[in-house]
Amino acid sequence: MRDSIRRLTAVAALATLCAGAWAQPQPAPSAEKPAESAELAALRQAAEAHPSDAVRQYNLGVGLAKAGRYEEAKAALQRADTMAADAGLKADARFNQGVIELESLQESEGAAGMTPAGQSADRLGALSRAERQFRRSLEASSQGETAAEAAKWIERVQRVRQRMEEESRRQQQQQQNQDQQQQQQGDQQREQNQDKQDGKQNQQQGQQQQQQQNGDQGQQQQQQQQGQDQAQQLQNLARQQSQLSQQSAQSATRPDDPQGRQQRQQQQADLSRQTEQAAEQARERREQQAKEQQTKEQQQASEKMQQKIDQAMREQAAAQEALDKGDDRGAAQAQQRAAANLAEAAREAAQQAEQPPQQQQQQQQQQQPKPVRPQAEGEQANQGSAWDFTAAEILDKERRQREGLQRLRREARRIFVEKDW
């Protein structure tokens, strides 16, 4: 008499699939081979006594499957399929092999050392093998209860496999997005490190220039260098704020990423603190410059720069609030406005540093050469040579300063957000 595990194992396999073949891994089953029951031992003894009897091989396969010994069960059912002359027995043997493939999915959940990609490939392989056995069952017999069951399970397996393939593609896309974001963060970090290195180099150059100068001229050049450093600092902040705005805009079009938003929140907080420090330095510089004589253009540039920094700080606060609420698009817009204000403040700082103080202009006018009495030919030649050397040195220094300030202003003009919402 032929036994069947079709109903029993189909229910268990259905539970596996409905729970999701991609569920969290379960504890691995014990590798120790369990002891055989009396019923299974009797089935094995009958199959060994009649090795060419397809029915007894089939019953042994059913018993092994019930005991959870799937590999041995598949081997017994394959023997039954090969030996059977009856189409119904062939259909049942093949159908049960498909069910065993589904049942083995539970064991694969506990496989140690497998990556998520490896587990996904293993599960898809099991589903493909199960569908192949169900189709072979239909080929053996297209009528009866087994054929109806096989047709149902082919449809179910196809649906589950489609869901798993979609999930696999989604995970791959998510991994690609994470890799791209990490690369962008790495590029940004390298650029920030380069900006810091450039800032240190600019500071060292300013110190070297200060050591070469003396008196009032040294103090005036030091103030001008501070203005350049301030313009460079604001320009770097504008660039970093613009990059963070682009990241927020990109995140608004992607699936929710709490970890990425938390990183942007931290980056925005760091930029806000740096902007507050820049604002404090700007106020101190204005107080220092108030004690000196300034041109009207310098005063206007200083006031406009301070206004732009204050506006940038307000926009940064709005961006931080939007990030806290999970509004990436709103954060990107506020960050865009903050970057534009910082870029404008950098241009005003560069323009202010480019113009010498009114007191320096007066001193330069006083230093213009005065008419002197005619000298002897040799004396006049020596004095003219010394004057030409001093004038050339002063002009060369002024030329280098103008070129540096013009370069800052050109770079500041390039700080803008390409996309407008």
pLDDT digits (tens, 9 = 90+) for 129-160: 989 999 999 898 888 888 889 999 999 988 98
Contact call for residues 404 and 352 (beta carbons, < 8 A):
no
Between 223 and 17, the more confident residue is 223
Between 114 and 307, the more confident residue is 307
Between 173 and 253, the more confident residue is 173
Whether residue 421 has pLDDT greater than 70: no
Q: Report which residue type is found at 301.
A: A
**Residue-by-residue DSSP string for 160-191:** HHHHHHHHHHHHHHHHHHHHHHHHHHHHHHHH
141 by DSSP, 3-state: which?
A: coil
Half-sphere exposure (Cβ direction) of 361: Cα atoms closer than 13 Å: 9
- Whether pTM > 0.75 for this model: the answer is no
pLDDT at 64: 93
**Residue-by-residue DSSP string for 229-263:** HHHHHHHHHHHHHHHHHHHHHHHHTSS--HHHHHH
213 by DSSP, 3-state: which?
A: coil
Say how many C-beta atoms besides its own lie within 10 A of residue 200's C-beta: 10
pLDDT at 369: 54
Average pLDDT over residues 63-70: 91
Task: Determine the Cα–Cα distance for residues 40 and 67; give it in Å rounded to an integer.
Answer: 8
Which CATH number applies to 226-248+263-356+407-412? 1.20.120
Whether residue 59 has pLDDT greater than 90: yes
Across 80-84, 169-173, 183-187, 211-215, least confident range? 211-215
Task: Determine the Cα–Cα distance for residues 363 and 356; give it in Å rounded to an integer.
Answer: 11
Across 92-106, 130-144, 254-268, least confident range? 254-268
Average pLDDT over residues 287-298: 70
pLDDT at 378: 52
Listed residue (324, 319, 177) closest to 262, CA to CA? 324
All CATH 1.20.120 domain ranges of the chain, comma separated, are 226-248+263-356+407-412
Whether residue 168 has pLDDT greater than 50: yes
Domain 6-19+35-107+121-167: CATH class, spelled out: mainly alpha
- As a whole number of Å, the end-to-end CA separation of the chain is 75
Question: Mean pLDDT for the chain?
Answer: 77
What percentage of the chain reaches a pLDDT higher than 90?
A: 23
Q: Render pLDDT for 388-406 as a digit per residue (tens, 0 to 9).
A: 667 777 788 778 877 876 7
**CA dihedral of 79, 80, 84, 90, whole degrees rounded to 10:** -120
All CATH 1.25.40.10 domain ranges of the chain, comma separated, are 6-19+35-107+121-167
